[in-house]
Structures are given as C-alpha cells and as structure tokens.
Amino acid sequence: MKNDQPTDSERAAMQTIIGRALKARNESGKAGIAASIIRDGQEVGAGENQVRLQSDPTKHAEMVALTAAATQLGTTDLSDCVMISTLQPCEMCLSAMRFAGIKRVIFAATQEKVAGKYFVFPGLSLQDFQKAGEPFTALGGVFEDQVLKLYEHGDE
C-alpha cells in the first residue's frame, strides 16, 4: 500500500462520511462534521460531531468514532486502523488518535482553508504533532471541495 495516497477503501469511506456530515448538519444538535475508523477497509466505528447534542466539548466526530471503534473491537489499541474525517482533526482529536495507536489519518478540509474556531492552538500545526512523537501519515485535502463550504466560515 502506498502511504502517500488514499486507498480505494479509504476514498469510499471518505465519500460515506461526507454524506453523513451533510446529513448531520440538518439534524438537531449535531454539526456537519463526521469521522470513521476503518480496519482492513471496513468501518469499525463512526460518528458525527455531538458537542451541542451531548453538552460535551469532547464529543467531536473523531472522538465519537474512536469510542465506537474501541467498543466494537473490545480494545483501545487501534494501531491497525485508519482515521477518516471530513475536517482536519483538532489538537484533542489528534492526541486521542495517537493514544489509540493510529498511525494514519485522512481528512477532507484542511486547517489552512477553514475558520480558526476549529483549532484552539493555531500555532500548533499538524507537522508539530508528526515531529513530536512516533511518526504517522496525514493526508489532507481529499475531496475537500465537497465539504469546504461547511467549514470555511465556521458555520458548523
């Protein structure tokens, strides 16, 4: 597998969560941000942003998907999984991803093209995370044009 390009199953997972994000933006209490955890090309956890719905600032889509995957697999070791998200994961979500052992993340909208509200430490870049610990692959901008309108002005 090439590490510098999404696989067919990763692209399919991205298309699925883009559909979920577009649907969730119209659901009460949810926001149009979605994530999935896949293993061997199969989804093992998924979620949409539920911060407002649950009155919990940790209920980002990626965090919900991580919890679902760990529950489904019966382990917190997700080192053989890939995180897929419609928005570049924030600092909290990247940290949680790394605590779970995930070494590959693929996302649509990139930090440079979205409203600043999605990142609380704007001086801390994705590359800082990659340099600070065990290396991981991050592929951004995948199908970005399909979701950028959701995040560029901070409406979600």
Quote the pLDDT of residue 4. Answer: 86
Quote the pLDDT of residue 1. Answer: 40
Quote the pLDDT of residue 81. Answer: 98
Among candidate residues 22, 111, 16, the one with its CA nearest the CA of residue 65: 16
Place of tokens 């600043």: 116
Supply the pTM of this predicted model: 0.95
Place of tokens 């990626």: 62
Which is the catalytic residue, given 62, 91, 134, 152? 62
pLDDT higher than threshold 50 for residue 129: yes
| Confidence band for 2, pLDDT divided at 50, 70 and 90 | very low
Quote the pLDDT of residue 83. Answer: 98
| Confidence band for 133, pLDDT divided at 50, 70 and 90 | confident
pLDDT in tens, 27-76: 888 899 999 999 999 999 999 999 999 999 999 999 999 999 999 999 99
Give the span between the Cα atoms of 32 and 65, in whole angstroms.
14
Q: Among 6-10, 146-150, 152-156, where is mean pLDDT lowest?
A: 152-156
**Looking at per-residue confidence, does 19 or 134 come out higher?**
19
Catalytic residue status for 62:
yes
Q: Among 9-18, 41-50, 126-135, where is mean pLDDT lowest?
A: 126-135
Q: Residue ranges of the domains in the chain?
A: 8-148
Answer CATH for 8-148 from 3.40.140.10, 3.40.50.920, 3.40.50.1000, 3.40.50.620: 3.40.140.10
pLDDT in tens, 72-91: 999 999 999 999 999 999 99
